[in-house]
Amino acid sequence: MVNISINGRKFQVKPKTTVLEAAKANGYYIPTLCYHPRLPVAGNCRLCLVDVKGSWKPLTACTTEVWEGMEIETDSPAVIETVRSSLSMMREEHPNDCMTCESNGDCEFQDLIYRYQIDAKHPVRSLLKHKFKKTNHSITEPCYSPFDNSTFSVARDMNKCVKCGRCIRACHHFQNINILGFINRAGYERVGTPMDRPMNFTKCVECGQCSQVCPVGAITARTEVVDVLRHLDTKRKVVVCSTAPAIRVALAEEFSTEADFDFTGKMVAGLRKLGFDYIFDTNFSADLTIMEEGTELIDRLNNGGKFPMFTSCCPGWINMVEKSYPELSDNLSSCKSPQQMIGAVIKSYFAKKLGLSTEDIIHVSIMPCTAKKGEARRPEFVQKGKDGKDYPDIDYVITTRELLTLLKLKKINPAELPDDKFDSPLGIGSSAGNLFGVTGGVMEAAIRTAQVITGVENPIPLGELKAIRGLDGIKAANVPLKTKDGKEVSVRAAVVSGGANIQKFLEKIKNKELEFDFIEMMMCPGGCINGGGQPKSADPEIVAKKMQRMYTMDDQAKLRLCHENPEIIDVYKNFLGEPNSHLAHELLHTHYND
Ligand code: HC0
Ligand code: SF4
């Protein structure tokens, strides 16, 4: 152990600990902006300065490791003055539109400005923000950047950027897509895209990982909160919502419940209080996806089809195929994602039950993912209304962060409400469907059902698919399945999450170093629990905690198999016929662009 002192108090810390880690672990505050616990350290914001006895200059706490006898001061007048001066300069460049900013109340820069009481000397008027003005180097007249809402998923207002570079590191470190980087020099420096093009014209997959780590409101999900609020407030239409698997675990963490507490009932209660007329579970359509995708896999095995077959439920992955690997588009499962399946079923099956037409229903999908917003806007995901016009299966997609904004606006704390239940039908989901929210979950759900349906002699016991559980980026397992002539075959299954891992993996597939039959792909590392629309968190263990909560929910569940879901049995019996039927194909399958 290493002996140090911080502001006069003595501590022992492990060697190689940084000053920042040592200070945080012992309850000291050191300001940071570019530091993020899940990203490589950059040390470029210069806010985490500390005085160290014997050093001729203040040192950055995030990059400096402790040494024996180190005497650290976090609050010397020189340190405070330097931090205040850096913040003042940043504030001079920052638009003054906090009140309508997406990150209002969830902004690390706002917190710092308050904490250090930095008044605006020359507040930058937000009205100027849409103008592209390259004028001079003056700090009070900065260079304005255009607003980029070229995708349906992610919005960029680089006028709010504090140049911490977290988004650049997220896009590189998690995804290896490298859309973002510092461009220009000498006073014009800002974060931009290749050739400074709008995001839609780059290889951006709209995963939103950049928005998840942005400390301010410079990169956000493209918000639909106000539209949803208007429908909830005016109730001119039947307003329904469906909730992705990963939302309930995110809310459980957000409201700090015990590790084994299932927040589903509280989440539904909160949504009911928000004013939704019907609340449905995307876990239902995750179960439906397994019925359709499992049948498709077995059909490809029996009748010959393109292999490897890739899952198609992650829209970030679909964007990546369409933009960077178009030659793989026939390898994708033809299944729509669970989001789009429940969208299609709500606006047909459910609408019919209520005697309504598609345009009478507003369907809000609540997702941990920004790319789901873009998926919902694909022109093929529509149905005809009474007037012969096309209406979208999903009207709005809001992220978990946007849901928290709605709850805050309406002053609802779901943790304080008695549990409520999803509406029925379309409100029952198996815990296998819930596992879709973690990397490996789609595969695990598929294996459970496919093994039972094909009747293999020794199915892998429930809960024993350890090889495809956990946070490793690339995982694999051999799965016994039976073909229709009774032959037992071993299906080589792989599970990959995170864009950087996906690219590495595909390179090996292309070079024939690896061969697989069925592959689950998720763009965000760890799966949807770590989606780009999830709440921002300073907890380095947040993804692992959410994953464990998902597994615990599965352990505690009574309904653990997709095909045993009574509502799934019912929807096939009374509406769809059988998996991959003509109607199922019409409503639940699609094709992707090559
Ligand atoms: Fe996911 Fe989904 S599991 S993509 O990760 O498949 O976003 O949570 O809702 O659609 O079900 C996200 C999460 C979903 C979909 C499901 C899938
Ligand atoms: Fe990179 Fe994803 Fe952000 Fe696009 S949305 S810039 S791919 S991190």
> Does ligand 1 lie within 6 Å of residue 337's CB atom?
yes
Residue 412: how many other CB atoms lie within 10 Å:
18
- Asked if residue 114 belongs to a domain, the reply is no
pLDDT for 123 beyond 80? no
- Same domain for 464 and 547, yes or no, is yes
Distance CA 516, CA 493 (A): 6
Distance, in Å, from the CA atom of 137 to the CA atom of 135, rounded to the nearest integer, reads 7
- For residue 64, what pLDDT is reported? 98
- Based on the domain organization, do 252 and 213 belong to the same domain? no
Please give, one letter per residue, the 3-state secondary structure of 335-360: ECCHHHHHHHHHHHHHHHHHCCCHHH
127 falls within a domain: no
| CA–CA gap between residue 285 and residue 37 (Å, rounded) | 34
Each residue's pLDDT tens digit, 405-453: 999 999 999 999 999 999 999 999 999 999 999 999 999 999 999 998 8
Question: Is the preceding peptide bond at 198 cis, omega within 30 degrees of 0?
Answer: no
Determine the average pLDDT of the residues in 574-588. 96
pLDDT exceeds cutoff 80 at 146: no
Q: Would you say residue 133 has pLDDT above 50? A: no
**Average predicted confidence (pLDDT) for the chain:** 94
Report pLDDT for 453: 87
Ligand 1 and 531: CB distance under 6 A: yes
Q: Are residues 190 and 297 in the same domain?
A: no
Region of 314 please: left (phi>0), alpha (psi -120 to 50) or beta: beta
User: Which residues are CB-neighbours of 512 under 8 A, at least 6 positions away?
Assistant: none
In a domain, 126, yes or no: no
Alpha carbon distances (Å) from 62 to 20, 73, 174: 5, 14, 20
> For residue 338, which atom of ligand 1 is closest to its CA?
10
Q: In this structure, which residue's CA is closest to atom 3 in ligand 2?
A: 210
C-alpha closest to that of 404 among 250, 206, 231: 250
Strands 2-6 and 70-73 turn out to be parallel
Cα of 438 vs centre of ligand 1, distance in Å, is 9
Instruction: Place 594 in a pLDDT band, splitting at 50, 70 and 90.
Output: confident
What number is the average pLDDT over the span 84-104? 92
CATH (domain of 176)? 3.30.70.20
Cβ-based burial of 266 (10 A; exposed 0-12, middle 13-18, buried ≥19): buried
Rounded Cα distance between 272 and 429, Å, is 18
Amino acid letter at 289?
Answer: T
Residue 206 Cα to ligand 2 middle (Å) = 5
* Ligand 2 pocket mutation, candidates 161, 169, 177, 197, criterion most atoms within 8 A of CB: 177
- The question of whether 510 is a catalytic residue gets the answer no
Last residue of a domain, one of 75, 101, 116: 75
Residue 140 has pLDDT above 80, yes or no: no
CA 396 to CA 100: how far, in whole Å? 20
Atom 7, ligand 1: residue with shortest CA distance: 369
Indicate if 191 and 314 belong to the same structural domain.
no
Confirm whether 40 is domain-assigned.
yes
Pocket test for ligand 1, best of 337, 394, 422, 546 (most atoms within 8 A of CB): 337
Would residue 90 count as lying in a domain?
no
C-alpha–C-alpha distance, residues 162 and 92, integer Å: 11
| pLDDT at residue 578 is higher than 90 | yes
**DSSP 8-state symbol, 589:** B
Catalytic residue among 163, 372, 482, 546: 372
Predicted local confidence at residue 584, as pLDDT: 97
Domain assignment present for 102: no
Ligand with smallest separation from the Cα of 341: 1
Which among 209, 314, 366 is the best mutation to test ligand 1's pocket, defined by most ligand atoms within 8 Å of the CB?
A: 314
User: Residues 197, 264: one domain?
Assistant: no
Ligand 2: residue of 36, 171, 502, 534 to mutate (most ligand atoms within 8 A of CB) is 171
The number of the ligand 2 atom at minimal distance from the alpha carbon of 179 is 6
Residues with CB under 6 A from ligand 2: 154, 170-171, 175, 177, 179-180, 204-210
CA diameter of the chain: 80
| Whether residues 364 and 471 fall in one domain | yes
Q: Which ligand is nearest to the CA of 342?
A: 1
**pLDDT for res 63:** 97
313 is catalytic: yes
Closest CA to 10 of 74, 76, 75, 72: 72
CA angle, corner 353, sides to 426 and 431, nearest 5?
5
**Residues linked to residue 280 through DSSP beta bridges, in sequence order:** 242
pLDDT for res 362: 98
As a whole number of angstroms, the distance between CA 528 and CA 481 comes to: 27
| Exposed/middle/buried for residue 17 (C-beta within 10 Å: 0-12, 13-18, 19+) | middle
pLDDT of residue 324 exceeding 90, the answer is: yes
Task: Judge if the beta carbon of residue 335 lies within 6 A of ligand 1.
Answer: no
Would residue 470 be called left, alpha or beta, if left means φ above 0 and alpha means ψ between -120 and 50 degrees?
left
| Residue 79: exposure state from Cβ atoms within 10 A (0-12, 13-18, ≥19) | buried
CA angle (484 as vertex; 483, 488 as ends), nearest 5: 30
Whether 370 and 316 share a structural domain: yes
- What is the CATH number for 358? 3.40.50.1780
The domain boundary residue, chosen from 191, 221, 251: 221
CA 173, chain centre distance (Å)? 16
**Nearest ligand 2 atom, CA 523:** 2
375 is catalytic: yes
Read off the pLDDT of each residue in 203-207 and give the average, rounded to a whole number. 98
pLDDT digits (tens, 9 = 90+) for 337-384: 999 999 999 999 999 999 999 999 999 999 999 999 999 999 999 999
Give the model's confidence band at 142: pLDDT under 50 very low, under 70 low, under 90 confident, else very high. very low
**Which residues lie closer than 8 Å to 486 by C-beta, 6 or more apart?**
none
Q: Is the CB of 437 under 6 A from ligand 1?
A: yes
- pLDDT tier at 485 (50, 70, 90 boundaries)? confident
Q: How far is CA 431 from the centre of its chain?
A: 20
Count of domains forming the chain: 3
Residue 138: the pLDDT is: 39
**CB-based contacts of 27, cutoff 8 Å, min separation 6:** none
Could you tell me if 432 and 313 lie in one domain? Answer: yes
Residue 464 is a catalytic residue = no
The pLDDT value recorded for residue 96 is 86
Please check whether residues 456 and 477 belong to one and the same domain.
yes
The ipTM assigned to this model is 0.94
pLDDT at 126 over 60: no
Say how far apart CA 581 and CA 435 lie, in whole Å: 26
Specify burial of residue 566 (Cβ count, 10 A radius: 0-12, 13-18, 19+). exposed
Is the minimum distance from the CB of 438 to ligand 1 under 6 angstroms?
Answer: no
CA of 187 to the centre of ligand 1 (A): 42
Length of the chain: 594
Share of the chain above pLDDT 70, in %: 96
Under the banding of pLDDT at 50, 70 and 90, the label for residue 496 is very high
Q: Tell me, using a 6 A CB cutoff, whether residue 435 lines ligand 1.
A: no
Task: Tell whether 276 and 203 lie within a shared domain.
Answer: no
Does 505 share its domain with 522?
A: yes
Average pLDDT over residues 295-301: 94
The helix (run of H) or strand (run of E) holding residue 242 is strand 238-243
Owning domain of residue 34? 2-75
Q: What's the CATH number where 66 sits?
A: 3.10.20.740
Candidates 211, 285, 333, 431; catalytic one: 333
Is residue 84 one of the residues assigned to a domain? no
Write down the pTM of the prediction: 0.95
Identify which ligand lies nearest to the alpha carbon of 546: 1
- What would the mean pLDDT of 454-474 be, rounded to a whole number? 91
What's the pLDDT score for residue 147?
85
What is the percentage of the chain residues whose pLDDT exceeds 90? Answer: 88
One domain for residues 150 and 242: no
- The predicted pLDDT at position 122 comes to 64
Q: Which pair of structure tokens corresponds to residue 33?
A: 């902006």
Angle (CA) 319 322 490, round 5°: 90
CA distances for 187 relative to 42, 239, 556, angstroms: 20, 48, 57
Q: Which of 75, 100, 121 is the last residue of a domain?
A: 75
Report if residue 103 sits inside a domain.
Answer: no
Cβ-Cβ contacts under 8 Å for 485 (sequence gap 6 or more): none
Q: Give the model confidence (pLDDT) of 518-561 as tens digits.
A: 999 999 999 999 999 999 999 999 999 999 999 999 999 999 99
Average pLDDT over residues 131-147: 48
How far apart CA 131 and CA 91 sit, in angstroms, is 19
